[in-house]
Structure 1
Amino acid sequence: MLKSILKAGVTAACLTGATSAMAQDFDLSNMSDDQRAAFGEAVRDYLLTNPQVIMDAVAKLEEMEAQQQVQVDSALVETHKDALLNDGYSWVGGNPDGDFTIVEFMDYRCGYCRKAAPEVTELVEKDGNIRLIVKEFPILGDASMISSRFAIATQIVAGDEAYEQVHEALISLEGNPGEAQLQRLAETFGFDYDAVKAEMDSEEVTRRITETRALAQAMQISGTPSFVFGTEMVRGYAPLAAMEQIVAQARSAN
């Protein structure tokens, strides 16, 4: 299918650019079967002789699609700006009064979220003027859900500082988050495990997860990690250098 589409696009480009005078005389709808066959063979020969044309067409197509996606993403961010930045419950780290905001949709069991975590931390700490908002988005099974419920319940019961400690511990936790592991985390950080456990299945915890999932769906986010850098969305892992560049470009554009 892709090859057919590319051939059609390349054919039009070739006829327009290389044989524009002849193209004016062509009426493809009125060609005979023999003429169509000859025309197709000529196009085939041209592409076989000049295969780079196909690669150029693919590159141009990808560039156009990327530009269109940026516009769509910017509109999505603007439409859902309040839910992204002011939902009233998502944990806010970094500099709460920073001039630039990053929103991360994450899952504790996601390998790329784990890879991104220290780099996001380094970015925020090095910059000093970034506000980081974390969206709990458990999508990878029961272990993900248990981890998010425990983190959110910790925030409700013990506050933002305890949440930050648990968040950092869960993103690097080896093995599944069983009761023994979670109780040990509570004891390590000095908050009431029984109170957190009782809160994990509360309506409030469920509401927060449900609302975040609905927001992700509305913003066409289906995987983790996914980021919003200002008005730009990045679906998937981005290394530290790339994130720094995105932030710098966004600041310079404002």
Structure 2
Amino acid sequence: MTLPVTDTALIATCMAAAALGVVVLSGAGGSAPVDIPADEQTVQETTQDTPGAQPLSDTVAVDAEFGEKVRSYLLQNPEVIFEAVAEYEMRNTASQADMDLALIDANYDKIFNDGYSWVGGNPDGDLTLVEFMDYQCGFCKRAYPEVTSFLEQDGNVRLIIKEFPILGPESELASRFAIAVKQLAGDDAYGEVHSALIQYEGRYTPELLTSLAEDMGLDGNDVLAMLDDDSITEILSENRMLAQRLQISGTPSFIMETEFLRGFVPADTLAMVAETLRD
């Protein structure tokens, strides 16, 4: 992913400042003493006593002539800083991709075959898209029609929903209600209530959920009575632990086979990822 211009410029500026800072230190000649607070003196003394540690002065000492050449070169060729940023970004992206792949591999069964998460789309699809979502999450609401459009256009993708309420008590209430509906009335009922909850723009209250259950032909009191069931608590706990292992801290977060997609993703991007995975 390419950094916005402002972020790239900021990083480049910082790198340039750091590089020029080394030059300034080298050119200072070390003749001017610097007052070091007592606590920082302690840190430096400890560092110097640590086997293998290098004193700060050793790590920044640069030949003055060489430093001036570096300074001159950077001022004459500032585009080098941006080239370095691009290379850093490329390496960082590759490293993140390797880490993501390792995390997915280590948690494969819990991601794709936990036995309790709702499965939609094409259950026999050649690709699986997993979504960690929260009903109060604005970007999850924006993502819903995009995911729906992608599934309709592709027709060969299995969808798994991971209830991941992280935005407060109402989020938890809505997720518990959706899971309770699934356990009491099955997958079709869950799909219906999931669609209703994610598109709802108001507060999630017991009164709302009771009304929604009754509109679906369910006994609202039976559904509400099940919200604190241990099985539902266990499912939410498992989802949270899985998210922690996968280093997921926000919603929506998607996994399509071996690809991590963090944040809101439009339908065309999902389609491009699917095409890449199939190639």
Q: TM-score, normalised by structure 1?
A: 0.85
- 8 A Cα contact 1:6 1:54, kept in partner: no
Cα distance in structure 2, aligned partners of 1:5 and 1:102: 42
Q: 1:237 offset after TM fit, Å?
A: 1.1
Which aligned segments of 4 or more residues in structure 1 are displaced greater than 2 angstroms?
1-8, 35-42
Cα distance in structure 1, aligned partners of 2:150 and 2:167: 26
Cα distance in structure 1, aligned partners of 2:16 and 2:71: 14
Which residue of 223, 230, 233 maps to 2:257?
Answer: 230
Cα distance in structure 1, aligned partners of 2:200 and 2:206: 13
Give unmatched runs, 5+ long, in structure 1: 12-28
- Which structure is larger by alpha-carbon Rg, 1 or 2? 2
Partner of residue 155, structure 2:
128
Partner of residue 112, structure 2:
85
Partner of residue 154, structure 1:
181
- 8 A Cα contact 1:6 1:58, kept in partner: no
**1:171 match: secondary structure:** helix
Instruction: State the Cα deviation string for residues 49-106 of structure 1 (Å, max 9, x = none).
Output: 2221111111111111111111111111111110111111100001111111011111
Partner of residue 234, structure 2:
207
Cα distance in structure 2, aligned partners of 1:245 and 1:7: 39
Cα distance in structure 1, aligned partners of 2:124 and 2:17: 49
Partner of residue 188, structure 1:
215
Aligned length: 233
Which residue of 163, 166, 171 maps to 2:193?
Answer: 166
Deviates more, 1:71-80 or 1:45-54: 45-54
Give unmatched runs, 5+ long, in structure 2: 1-9, 23-56
Cα distance in structure 1, aligned partners of 2:140 and 2:65: 54
Which residue of 48, 57, 62 maps to 2:75?
Answer: 48
Q: TM-score, normalised by structure 2?
A: 0.78
Which residue of 127, 131, 138 maps to 2:165?
Answer: 138
Cα distance in structure 2, aligned partners of 1:111 and 1:40: 51
Instruction: State the Cα deviation string for residues 198-248 of structure 1 (Å, max 9, x = none).
Output: 111111110000000000101111111111111111111111111110000
Instruction: State the Cα deviation string for residues 105-152 of structure 1 (Å, max 9, x = none).
Output: 111111111111101011111111100000000111111111111111
Cα distance in structure 2, aligned partners of 1:188 and 1:92: 23
Instruction: Write out aligned runs for 1:39-118 (5 A).
Output: 39-118=66-145
Cα distance in structure 1, aligned partners of 2:107 and 2:174: 26
Larger RCO: 1 or 2 (CA < 8 Å, sep 6+) = 1
Q: 1:5 offset after TM fit, Å?
A: 8.6
